[in-house]
């Protein structure tokens, strides 16, 4: 019974991390192409508002997602134009957009605060898969369509990154755009495309909050999630699997903090709200140190390689730098 309860708590925590998964995958794709979309915080918030309003107005939850994705891509287009075409500082552009879009969401979304709206259809279990030991009850019982779409997105992104020509090119343009250009790729067009795709996914993440996991709209409804998504992408070493893992870990840490808060009442609540963030930073520090590489060098070549692939956390070499074609 005890373990059953734990499973449900964990399963809920994992499911609730779904919006973050969408955001992290989106940002991972964008950054792998060499562009930092620092507007995540604003994009998610504005898209949460837009998604909610669109779904409410059209009375169709899926239209809400479409609208959110479009707005997310539109914000990404601004980032892309400034970063790729105008070659301006991606940090400055993203930061300003993050502030602008969150304020815009508060202003435009004001009439829609705390009113009921459409939500994603209820949870369902996936037949067969739900019967797998451990994994079944953990992953395939408590989710709704978005949770399962999240799993599919992680898998598809990983497959695209490491098993297709397009993914190889994507990794290439973020590492050494000049070399990709030398091989005949249109670096500018590809960077635009991946920035827009990443932005659309972040938009969906916003709508996933307002139409599902934190249904409704309120002032600064999704505050903090954009920033943590950016941190998780780094923690995830720009690898979709690890980024997703980071997002789920954050979800679990958050719900554990909630549980701990009720069991240890004499510790200030702030400790538990902040704890997940601190733990994430610790994890980041641990996985990016040189000591791991030194440790790895003692292992046999084959083991070392596959491990290094997982642990390796170097950012795309051309991340944040505009491509200058001479």
Partner 1 sequence: MHRRKARISRRTPANSSTVKVELRHIHKRFGNVHANDDVSLTVEAGTIHGLLGENGAGKSTLVKILSGFISRDSGEIVLDGRPAHIQSPADALRYGIGMLHQDPLDFPPLTAIENFMAGSPTTPALLNVRAAERNFRALCRQFNFDLDPHARVSDLTVGERQQLEIVRLLANGAGTLILDEPTTGISATQKTLLFDALRRLAQEGKSIIFVSHKLEDVEALCDCVTVMRRGRVVGELNLRANGAGRAHGDWPAGERFDVAARIVEMMFGRELAMPVKPAIHQDETALVLEGLLLRSDRLEMHIGHLAVRRGEVIGIAGLEGSGQQLFLLTCAGLEHPAAGSIYVSGRNLTRQPYSAFVKAGVCYLPADRLREGLISGLSIQEHVALRMPSRGIFINRAAAAQEAERAIATFNIRGRPDTAVEQLSGGNQQRTQLALMPSPLNVLLMEHPTRGLDIESTLWVWQQLIARCNQGTAILFASSDLDEIVQYSDRVIVFSGGRISPPIAAAALTADSLGQMIGGRF
Using CB under 8 A, list all residues that contact partner 1. Answer: 163-166, 168-169, 171-172, 175-176, 178-185, 305, 308, 312, 314, 317, 326
Distance CA 262, CA 60 (A): 38
The 3-state secondary structure of 238-271, one letter per residue: CCHHHHHHHHHHHHHHHHHHHHHHHHCCCCCHHH
For partner 1, which is the closer residue by CB, 186 or 269? Answer: 186
Nearer to partner 1, 278 or 314 (CB): 314
**Tokens representing 277?**
């963030």
Taking the complex as a whole, how short is the minimal distance between the CB of residue 174 and partner 1, in angstroms? 9
Nearer to partner 1, 220 or 305 (CB): 305
Q: 119: how many CB neighbours lie within 10 A of its CB?
A: 17
CB of 153 to partner 1, least distance (A): 19
SS3 143: coil
Chain centre distance of CA 149: 13
C-beta separation of 83 from 322 below 8 A: yes
Nearer to partner 1, 61 or 173 (CB): 173
CA distance 206 to 65: 9
Q: Give min distance, CB of 196 to partner 1, in A.
A: 21
Of residues 149, 148, 150, 144, the one with CA closest to residue 122: 144
Are the C-beta atoms of residues 169 and 185 closer than 8 Å to each other?
yes
Is the Cβ of residue 114 or residue 165 nearer to partner 1 in the bound state? Answer: 165
**Smallest distance, Å, CB 325 to partner 1?**
9
CB of 160 to partner 1, least distance (A): 10
């Amino acid at each position: 019974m005890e373990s059953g309860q734990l499973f449900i708590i964990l399963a809920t925590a994992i499911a609730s991390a779904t919006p973050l998964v969408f955001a992290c995958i989106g940002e991972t794709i964008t950054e792998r192409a060499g562009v930092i979309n620092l507007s995540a915080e604003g994009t998610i918030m504005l898209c949460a508002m837009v998604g909610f309003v669109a779904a409410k107005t059209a009375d169709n939850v899926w239209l809400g997602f479409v609208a959110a994705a479009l707005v997310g891509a539109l914000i990404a287009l601004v980032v892309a134009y400034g970063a790729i075409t105008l070659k301006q500082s991606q940090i400055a552009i993203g930061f300003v957009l993050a502030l602008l879009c969150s304020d815009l969401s508060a202003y435009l979304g004001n009439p829609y605060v705390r009113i009921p709206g459409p939500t994603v259809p209820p949870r369902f279990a996936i037949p067969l898969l739900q019967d797998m030991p451990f994994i079944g009850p953990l992953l395939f019982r408590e989710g709704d369509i978005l949770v399962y779409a999240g799993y599919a997105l992680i898998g598809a992104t990983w497959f695209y990154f490491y098993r297709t020509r397009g993914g190889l090119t994507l990794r290439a343009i973020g590492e050494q755009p000049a070399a990709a250009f030398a091989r005949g790729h249109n670096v500018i067009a590809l960077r635009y495309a991946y920035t827009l795709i990443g932005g659309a996914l972040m938009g969906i993440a916003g709508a996933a909050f307002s139409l599902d996991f934190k249904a409704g709209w309120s002032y600064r409804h999704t505050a903090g999630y954009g920033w943590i998504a950016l941190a998780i992408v780094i923690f995830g070493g720009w690898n979709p699997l690890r980024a997703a893992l980071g997002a789920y870990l954050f979800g679990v840490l958050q719900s554990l903090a909630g549980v701990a808060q009720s069991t240890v009442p004499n510790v200030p609540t702030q400790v538990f709200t902040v704890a997940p963030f601190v733990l994430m930073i610790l994890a980041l520090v641990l996985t990016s140190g040189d000591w791991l590489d030194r440790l790895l060098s003692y292992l046999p070549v084959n083991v070392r390689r596959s491990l290094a692939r997982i642990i390796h956390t170097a950012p795309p070499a051309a991340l944040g730098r505009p491509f200058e074609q001479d």
